[in-house]
Amino acid sequence: MIIVKIGGGENINISGVIADLAKLDEKFIVVHGANALRDELAQKLNYEKKILTSVSGYQSVYSDDEALDSMMMAYSGLRNKRIVEEFQKNGVNAVGITGLDGKTIQGKRNKGIRVRENGKLKMLRDFSGKPQSVNTDLINLLLDNNYTPVLTMPIIDETGYAINSENDDVVAVLQKELKAGKVIQLIEATGFLENSKDDSSVIHKITKAELETKEHQVEGRMKRKVLALRNLFESSDTTVYISDGRTEHPIEDALNGKGTVIE
């Protein structure tokens, strides 16, 4: 069993990824993003990206109704269905669903962000949150009947609302339940880099222990990514491949260790 996470960058070679996956003997499940597509769409539709600054100085994107709309169009609509179509053309009977469908990925909605507006303190609550659990019944029902789940945003909160979340966290909760032997993450870089500005500085092998050290060396979004990686090893032994999604054969390259292998 393999969990494949396909990043949402615009240069990922989707047809190459799918052609590679179609050749595998192992079962797999796909989790994909679509942030480049979503941003492009939101811009064309004049949806404004709202960035809030909390009273403690922390900046975050405010996921309002429009943000969810554009996510549904880009992630659940265009990207998900084009990926499913490509799988079908390659003979893989894919079923594209979001975390909402069948409550596949259940999360906890964020309490809100404390902001100061016109001098007054205010809690602003948006449609975002963190995945907590997985409806493994539905995922296994699909897998056992030879359907390949292709999962994407949004996920579902405690009361049935669609919420935005991080795919890294979705992969972590999936791995906790599915205990996949391999997790492949395809990104728009050659792998986990020693120097983020140098594509040739790929670290080809990292151990779980080294990951912990790394967590203290990096910042911001990267820190969150390393933490999410560490979570993958919490529930079971697995091998994680972080590899370039832009090559001709992204999955083959990943499994051949061209990127970073963590075990």
Residues whose CB is less than 8 angstroms from the CB of residue 203 and which lie 6 or more positions away in sequence, other chains included: 191, 192, 193, 194, 260
Residues in binding contact with its own copies, number by CB under 8 A = 41
- Judged by beta carbon, residue 46 or residue 200, the one nearer its own copies is 46
| Structure-token pair, residue 208 | 């779980």
Give the strand pairing for 28-32 and 2-6: parallel
Minimum Å distance from CB 147 to its own copies? 5
Q: Is 156 an interacting residue with respect to its own copies (CB under 8 A)?
A: yes
Q: CB of 151 within 8 A of CB of 100?
A: no
Q: Is 172 an interacting residue with respect to its own copies (CB under 8 A)?
A: no
CA distance 86 to 80: 10
Among 18, 84, 172, 251, binds its own copies (CB under 8 A): 84
- Judged by beta carbon, residue 64 or residue 215, the one nearer its own copies is 64
SS3 of the chain: helix, strand, coil, percent, to 5: 35, 25, 35
CB-neighbour burial class of residue 146 (10 A; exposed 0-12, middle 13-18, buried 19+): exposed
Rounded to the nearest 10 degrees, how much is the dihedral formed by the CA atoms of 164, 167, 173, 174? Answer: 120
- Judged by beta carbon, residue 59 or residue 146, the one nearer its own copies is 146
- Judged by beta carbon, residue 41 or residue 183, the one nearer its own copies is 41
**Helix 14-22 crosses helix 80-89 at what angle (to 10 degrees)?**
40
Among 57, 119, 160, 220, binds its own copies (CB under 8 A): 160
Minimum Å distance from CB 37 to its own copies? 10
Among 145, 195, 200, 217, binds its own copies (CB under 8 A): 145
Q: CB of 127 within 8 A of CB of 156?
A: no
Among 10, 26, 48, 137, binds its own copies (CB under 8 A): 137
Amino acid at 78: L
Q: What is the CA radius of gyration of the chain?
A: 18
Among 26, 55, 125, 141, binds its own copies (CB under 8 A): 141
Per-residue binding string, its own copies, 51-80, x by CB under 8 A, is ------------------x--xxxxxxx-x
Among 1, 14, 39, 102, binds its own copies (CB under 8 A): 102
Minimum Å distance from CB 241 to its own copies? 27
CA distance 260 to 183: 12
Among 14, 22, 36, 95, binds its own copies (CB under 8 A): 95
Q: Is 45 an interacting residue with respect to its own copies (CB under 8 A)?
A: yes
Residues that bind its own copies (CB under 8 A): 41, 44-45, 69, 72-78, 80-82, 84-85, 88-91, 93-98, 100-103, 137-138, 141, 145, 147, 154, 156, 159-162
